Amino acid sequence: MSATLKVRALTGPALQAYIAPLARLRIQVFREFPYLYDGDLDYEAHYLETYSRALGALVVVVLDGKAVVGASTALPLIEAEAAFRQPFPTQGLDPAEVFYLGESVLLPAYRGKGLGVRFFQEREAHARALGPYTWAAFCAVNRPADHPRRPPEYRPLDAFWNKRGYTRHRELVAYYRWKDLDDPEESEKPMTFWLKRLRQVG
């Protein structure tokens, strides 16, 4: 990693100073496929405020000088929105045993430098330090292979996630609403969870 880059793990009030640049970064990166998010700065700022207040939440920020160029979020699943908790009890999994890895965003020029691996390392270490979580989990939006906005060079991150120890669980699907680019209004999107066991039980 370049000497100009710094990675900071932020919790609680320390996040406040970064909310505005993080909101802008998230909107910029999530416009890309597969999220195609037509974002709103006020919504993003409100969303990030929840991480400054939620017990056990973490935001890993990447700085190039003073510029925020990447970030990754995490918090206990019981602190996450209800839409993300809902699938787990239906499959016999206790949300209190799950540490939820929210989203990772990174500007294109900083990809391929090991920061994606660092995001997972920081968040998993935080989960283990917090307490006896059995699982780390995140979800990814489902888009059809023939989606009209899918770039020809797009490659899904499945192999990267598998290498980090995560497995797709097709039976665990959350539904979340946002407005796609070019769409007149919000629509519901299916998001499939990936899980990694953090500790053995029994």
State the greatest distance between any 2 C-alpha atoms of the chain, in Å, as a whole number: 51
Residue extents of the structural domains in the chain:
5-197
Q: Which helix (H) or strand (E) holds 173?
A: strand 167-178
Is the pLDDT at 197 greater than 80, yes or no? yes
For residues 91 and 95, what is the distance between their CA atoms, to the nearest angstrom? 11
pLDDT at 131: 85
Is the pLDDT at 166 greater than 60, yes or no? yes
Work out the percent of the chain whose per-residue pLDDT is above 90: 95
pLDDT at 1: 55
As a whole number, the mean pLDDT across the chain is: 95
Closest CA to 193 of 157, 144, 145, 140: 140
Query: Is residue 3 very low, low, confident or very high in pLDDT (cuts 50, 70, 90)?
Result: low
Query: Is residue 200 very low, low, confident or very high in pLDDT (cuts 50, 70, 90)?
Result: confident
- Domain 5-197, CATH 3.40.630.30 — does that match? yes
